[in-house]
Structure 1
Amino acid sequence: MESQPFTVGMIAFDMMTNLDFVGPFDILSRVRGARTILLGKALDPIVTDSRYRLLPEMRLAEAPELDMIFVPGGPGSTKLMEDPEVLAFLAARAPRAKWVTSVCTGALVLGAAGLLKGYRAATHWSAMDILPVLGAIPVHERVVIDRNRVTGGGVTAGIDFALTLIAQIWGEDQAKLIQLGNEYNPQPPFDAGSPERAPDVAARYRELTRGMTAARMEAAQRAAARLR
């Protein structure tokens, strides 16, 4: 009798950041014995913030038992922080999952569902100040593991996140094979990948995204009030 696959439910939504989702999905889908499912509220195409289109495989309401739940981030995560269906799904399914995970501002959605209270967590650097509002302990690391909560930093950290999880669950040999197969050997052309290394660029970024950050904070404050 064949063993049941390790099932990963990956929640997709409009205006998520493409690489937040596709990076972890691609890496995790290469694990033999794992099944990655693209979940949506409906079966309509998901349009990411880069206008890339993805087609959900299954509705949230139809999802099987999940060994891992994953939430990406992006501009659309602010709306998701106040989406009753998504928050109810996360609150109901998280206690039955082996791993509850996110990348980027997907952590804010987990927090809005009450799933990060008292947990160390990472998110996009520009949203770190929002985590404590939702009861989480912000950690400025690429990937943070606290018990069965695994959270990744912004966007490209999703690849590190997925490889770290694979090593945790299936062993380092499996993770290294997948890393090598993907030729994941980052050599960025600029030293501007963190606000500490590029403070002038970070200041410009904060100015450009001030409205989005304020909206996220307001949504987090409303979520925190509901959780109380």
Structure 2
Amino acid sequence: MTDHPPRFGLLLFPNVTQLDLTGPYEVLARVPGAEMHLLWTDTAPVRSDTGLRLLPTTALADCPKLDLLLVPGGAGIHELLADEAVLAFLRSQARTARYLVGICTGSLVLGAAGLLKNRRAGTHWASRRFLEAFGAVPTDGRVVVDGTLFTGGGVTAGIDVALAIVAELFGEERAKIIQLSIEYDPQPPFDAGSPKGAGRELTAFLLERMGPMLAARAAAVQAAADRLGAAKE
């Protein structure tokens, strides 16, 4: 891949959805020799959106050039969409990183950094429409690949995305070995992991519960899109 061990950087921010982060981390960390960086503005513990405390390992200012940069999602993305220091970091790393990855609503953060223009991208089904604000082409898929851009659906899709990346970088056999090692053999008790499987009634119920959060997200996305457009003028 390069003349150094593969360097994988995953953004870790307040109110991240931990499985967006830890699912791909579990896969990528099993690549032999992988150099893993959990990135934030400092290395103090960070609280996930469900209360789990996680520890960044590398401050943004100390981050080396990465081979892969991954942005997970979660409620905390609303603040990231307006955090110019973080967006500038993403743009800087994206210039040299071989692969750029968005998991769940982390894709929206990549969009706010101006990295999704005219590119196919996925995200959580309830937020997919917001991708258009950043010039992306919203795509319905658990794993969406556009060149060296890998994005995925919500939360658990991060494991699938990471396995697809490992297969791209190191071959299918290596990806299959990792899949077997973590016994990733999904057999959910219910077919309710997507609106299609869950049906209209359950989907409508969940969307109603998510209404205030989605309204706040719509406002945050529009403000970020406006700033991005103004910066390009």
- Superposition TM-score, scaled by structure 2 size: 0.95
Residue of structure 1 in register with 2:141 after alignment = 141
- 1:62-89 CA-to-partner distances (Å, cap 9, x unmatched) read 1001011100001111111111111110
Query: Alpha-carbon deviation of 1:47?
Result: 0.5
Aligned counterparts, 1:104-143, within 5 A: 104-143=104-143
Alignment partner of 1:197: what SS?
A: helix
Residue of structure 2 in register with 1:214 after alignment = 215
Rounded to whole Å, the distance in 1 between the matches of 2:15 and 2:225 is 23
Alignment partner of 2:8: what SS?
A: strand
Alignment partner of 2:25: what SS?
A: helix
- 1:101-140 CA-to-partner distances (Å, cap 9, x unmatched) read 1100000000000000110000000001100011110111
Rounded to whole Å, the distance in 1 between the matches of 2:201 and 2:134 is 29
Rounded to whole Å, the distance in 2 between the matches of 1:3 and 1:140 is 36
> How many residues in Structure 1 have an aligned counterpart in Structure 2?
227
Calculate percent identity across the aligned residue pairs. Answer: 49
Gaps of 5+ in 1: none
Letter paired with 1:4: H
- Superposition TM-score, scaled by structure 1 size: 0.97
Query: Alpha-carbon deviation of 1:92?
Result: 1.4
Query: Alpha-carbon deviation of 1:212?
Result: 1.1
Query: Alpha-carbon deviation of 1:3?
Result: 4.1
Gaps of 5+ in 2: none
Aligned counterparts, 1:76-225, within 5 A: 76-198=76-198, 199-225=200-226
Rounded to whole Å, the distance in 2 between the matches of 1:140 and 1:192 is 16
Rounded to whole Å, the distance in 2 between the matches of 1:60 and 1:209 is 32
TM-align CA RMSD:
1.1
Rounded to whole Å, the distance in 1 between the matches of 2:106 and 2:165 is 16
